[in-house]
Amino acid sequence: MPERELGALMATKKKRRRRRIRGPIARRWFAVGALLLVGLLYYRPLHDFVQARSQRAVRVTEVRQLQKERAALERRLRRASSLAVLTQEARSLGYIRPGEHLFIVKDIPQWRRGQHAWRHAASRGR
């Protein structure tokens, strides 16, 4: 009987040893699996967050650019609304004031050459 008890005691020690050896390994694999699961569950929200942050940076840049463009357009509008600028633009389009006569001069470079030659000849004749 003592041999049976000794054999049973040895068998329980082997089982305990096996459990002790298997226990930490199983716990490690369980921990690795749990970390992988948590990582997989966090991947999509984290990816969306990073993508939204980069899109926000692009949008902020666009908004700043549009604000600068708006300010430039407002300055241009204020400048264009002045009476002097409106008069100048109207004259460049060919508009005249009531009572004025419109004269269209053609070949100004040719006229200038003629004036230069005439002045040059007049200065020699003196």
Q: Are 65 and 73 in contact (CB under 8 A)?
A: no
Determine the pLDDT at residue 56.
Answer: 95
Task: Count helices and strands (H / E) in the chain.
Answer: 3, 0
pLDDT, one tens digit per residue, over 38-90 is 988 888 899 999 999 999 999 999 999 999 999 999 998 888 888 888 888 88
Domain boundaries, the chain: 2-113
- Residue 107 corresponds to which amino acid? D
State the pTM of this model: 0.42
d(CA 89, CA 86): 5
Q: CA dist 121 to 86, 118, 124, Å?
A: 43, 5, 5
pLDDT, one tens digit per residue, over 97-116 is 889 888 877 888 888 888 88
**3-class secondary-structure state, position 81:** coil
- Can you read off the two tokens belonging to residue 80? 């264009």
Q: Which of 43, 40, 44, 22 is nearest to 32 (CA)?
A: 40
